[in-house]
Amino acid sequence: MSTNKTVIVTGASSGIGFALAKAYLERGYNVVGNARSLERLESAAQALGNPANFVLVAGDIALPSTAAALFERAIDAFGKVDILINNAGIFIAKPVGDYTEDDLETIVSTNLKGFFYPSQQAAEHMRANRDGHIVTITASVAMQPNAKIPALLPVLIKGGLNHATRALAIELATSNVRVNAVAPGIIVTPMHGTDEGTTTFLKGLAPNGAMGSTQDVVDAVLYLTDSTFTSGTVMAVDGGATAGTW
């Protein structure tokens, strides 16, 4: 399958972001991948076979200059941007009293600024083109907090992004720009490690007793960016964890 569409993926060097970049490349999309480290992006490109339509833009996504560079490179290389996926993010879970000033600054920089500046660029670019999709990866715990995972700062920021998704969807609706979010639960990625005790605990955070895969998140994102009539949605991909208590 071949297409002339272009997608920007932040946090594209590993985990969910890498899986998203791979999925869109397999669909024939042009992909502009961002991560803080050029070395990690180059390793990701090598793992993907160094495709010519995978453009690397290293830089701190919390900086407006990085967001601008992403769109400039994408437009220079491919003409326009059809999809932005705000995937870059971090998750720091600890009791409220244990959070430090550095924790707050880190989460605000990556999770909040890393959403705002690329989305601002996308909104103006896609509004002018009268078409496009913005999808943000948030967290299901921001929809339904869990006493087993004290995580005030991620809930604060990711919960705000869920509401911002709805607000931006309304703002851009008349420009035919769709804005959605995917809120994953516990997904199997290298950040969780392989310790049996940790894995058992994490599986117990969903009523189906399982962890999701990066493909589960990819499938949700692909559904949203394929849709012409879905906007303002926050789609939980969490094994039913946001459905209630169990």
pLDDT (mean) for 41-56 = 97
User: Is residue 1 in a domain?
Assistant: no
- Contact status, residue 159 vs residue 112, Cβ threshold 8 Å: no
User: Is residue 149 in a domain?
Assistant: yes
User: Is residue 99 in a domain?
Assistant: yes
Share of the chain above pLDDT 90, in %: 91
Q: Return the higher-pLDDT residue of 196 and 29.
A: 29
Q: Which domain holds residue 135?
A: 6-240
Residue 2 scores a pLDDT above 80: no
In this prediction, residue 189 carries a pLDDT of: 82
Could you report the per-residue pLDDT of 156-214, keeping only the tens digit for each? 999 999 999 999 999 999 999 999 999 999 999 867 767 788 899 999 999 999 999 99
Residues 6+ apart with CB under 8 A from 220: 182, 235, 237
- Helix axis angle for 114-129 and 152-172, nearest 10°, is 10
User: Is residue 246 in a domain?
Assistant: no
Count how many domains the chain has: 1
Hey, which residues does 179 pair with through a beta bridge? 134
CATH number of residue 196's parent domain = 3.40.50.720
Whole-number mean pLDDT of the chain? 95
Residue 246 scores a pLDDT above 90: no
Banded pLDDT at 36 (limits 50, 70, 90):
very high
Residue 1 scores a pLDDT above 70: no
Query: Measured between alpha carbons, how far is 115 from 107 in angstroms, rounded to an integer?
Result: 11
User: Is residue 232 in a domain?
Assistant: yes
User: Is residue 193 in a domain?
Assistant: yes
User: Is residue 200 in a domain?
Assistant: yes
User: Is residue 94 in a domain?
Assistant: yes
